[in-house]
Amino acid sequence: MKDDTSFFEKYFADDYTGVYSSGTPYTKTESLAPGALKYESFDVREMKIRVYGNTAVVTSLTSATGTVRKDGKPFSGLFRTIRVWVKQKDGWKLIAFQSTQVPPAAH
């Protein structure tokens, strides 16, 4: 929420791809651009982590509000997310992210 990208710089793989609920794909460079994604609130309600050797799949249910700066669209609601992490020589790196908004009738 403070536009501090140091965590993402360290943990995003160079070939990271994130697809947000708008369907817009982001590379690591685009994700790290100042204000690329601005959160106003972020609350993880459920999280499940499954590890398969050097790969981890993290699913979550998150309540969030903010703005996607790439297309200027605000977002708000519940989101199901999937993150894929791979253990590399320099530690765990996030290689993929997908977010899908949960329709209001489903919660």
Of the pLDDT bands very low, low, confident and very high (cuts 50, 70, 90), residue 1 is very low
0.85 exceeded by the pTM?
no
Instruction: Give tens-digit pLDDT for 71-106.
Output: 777 888 999 999 999 999 999 999 999 999 998 876
Instruction: Give tens-digit pLDDT for 6-49.
Output: 888 899 999 999 998 778 888 998 888 766 677 889 899 999 99
Q: Name the more confident of 66 and 61.
A: 61
Give the count of alpha carbons within 13 A of 103, CB side only.
Answer: 2
CATH classification for the domain delimited by 6-106, as one of 3.50.50.60, 3.40.50.300, 3.10.450.50, 3.10.20.30: 3.10.450.50
Asked if residues 75 and 21 have their Cβ atoms less than 8 Å apart, the reply is yes
| Annotated domain spans of the chain | 6-106
Residue type, 81: T
